[in-house]
A and B are shown apart, each in its own frame.
Chain A
Amino acid sequence: MSASVEGLVKVFERPKSLTDAKFTYCPGCHHGIITRIIAQTIDELGIAERTVGIAPVGCSVFAYLWYRCDALQVAHGRASAVATGVKRANPELVVFSYQGDGDFASIGTAESIHAANRGENITVIFVNNQVYGMTGGEMAPTSLVGQVTTTTPEGRNPAGFGYPIRFSEIIAQLDAPVYVTRQAVYDTRRIMDTEKAVKKAFRLQVEGRGYSLVEILATCPTNWHMAPGAANRHVADVVTEVFPLGDLVDRG
């Protein structure tokens, strides 16, 4: 620190609901930004003492280390069902699940759809970076056509492997969900929009309104083989063409 901060107002600091633990994410990975936004939301709504986070399997398996809240680490794909069990057992708790594209949209397809369809009063954060990070870069259901991954070394061919799945659109077709939105955090404006969306989703749960899904397009610099800045531009320029940003359902 070279400059004095005396006489200045602190306008940004680490949210109180974040622990001191250093994130285990790769440099430039958007998981960290999203985690900070969730912790900030917990601070702003004053709900740390009754929040329970559900950590999935994937890069964010360690999510239980980041928040000063009770948390569970659960079986791959099942976070939406576990969140159902937690919330039904104690509706006073604010329950959020945090899932990647394998957890939410592949192995967890049934649990993701049915928790939404039952209108469980939970908040689901779905981080979509179109690849399986933790296991070394395999295809995800959301991988783009032509995307090179370790299981699509020639690029994803729809003839054998289908098309990227727009899961928020699937959830949006159900009658029960009250808020379904797709956001991104590749620049400051998108970060601010995501902050508003996440806060809205948690607020709706606190108000007992029902099920919210916030899909957030994210980068995986490591498995995209791009530098963080280039990865951000890839989301802005290419990924949003396949996964349009915006609110799909807003009954809030």
Chain B
Amino acid sequence: MPRGVVVIDRERCKGCGLCISACPQKVLAFSGERNRGGYDVACVVRPEACVGCGFCAMTCPDVAIEVYRERPEAGGDGSG
């Protein structure tokens, strides 16, 4: 499986939790930390499990998440 990285914009996050539910790999959770808006922001708790599927970013209603994925090996299809 390719390795993925998600980057969450803390100040855009409204702590709705949809990304946490959308993630098939349980990568995300509430951090317990509040941003300036008073929201409990989501954060990465299992980075090693992230495959860069992008489901979290697609569902984020505040478009607060960027997703990166490992470039597939030359000749491979990247599905690991």
Q: Which one, A23-31, A164-172, A198-206, is touching chain B?
A: A23-31
Q: Does A32 contact B (CB under 8 A)?
A: yes
User: What 1/0 flags go to B58-73 for Cβ under 8 Å of A?
Assistant: 1111110111111100
Contacts of A36 in B (CB 8 A): 61, 63
**A10 and B67 contact, Cβ closer than 8 Å, known pairs A27-B15, A28-B16, A191-B59:** yes
**Cα(A192)–Cα(B53), bound, Å:** 13
**A27 and B67 contact, Cβ closer than 8 Å, known pairs A3-B47, A191-B58:** no
Q: Does A22 contact B (CB under 8 A)?
A: yes
Closest to A188 in B: B55
**A33 and B65 contact, Cβ closer than 8 Å, known pairs A28-B17, A228-B17:** no
Asked if B62 and A227 sit within 8 Å, CB to CB, the answer is: no
Asked if A187 and B22 sit within 8 Å, CB to CB, the answer is: yes
Main secondary structure of the interface of B (DSSP, over half): mixed
For the complex of A and B, 6 pairs with smallest distance between CB atoms: A32-B61, A28-B16, A27-B14, A8-B68, A27-B16, A12-B67
Asked if B7 and A32 sit within 8 Å, CB to CB, the answer is: no
Contacts of B70 in A (CB 8 A): 7-9
11 A–B contacts from the bound complex (CB under 8 Å): A7-B70, A7-B71, A8-B68, A12-B54, A12-B65, A18-B63, A27-B16, A31-B61, A33-B59, A36-B61, A188-B58
**Cα(A243)–Cα(B61), bound, Å:** 22
Most chain B Cβ neighbours within 10 Å, of A2, A4, A9, A25:
A9
Contacts of B7 in A (CB 8 A): 1, 5
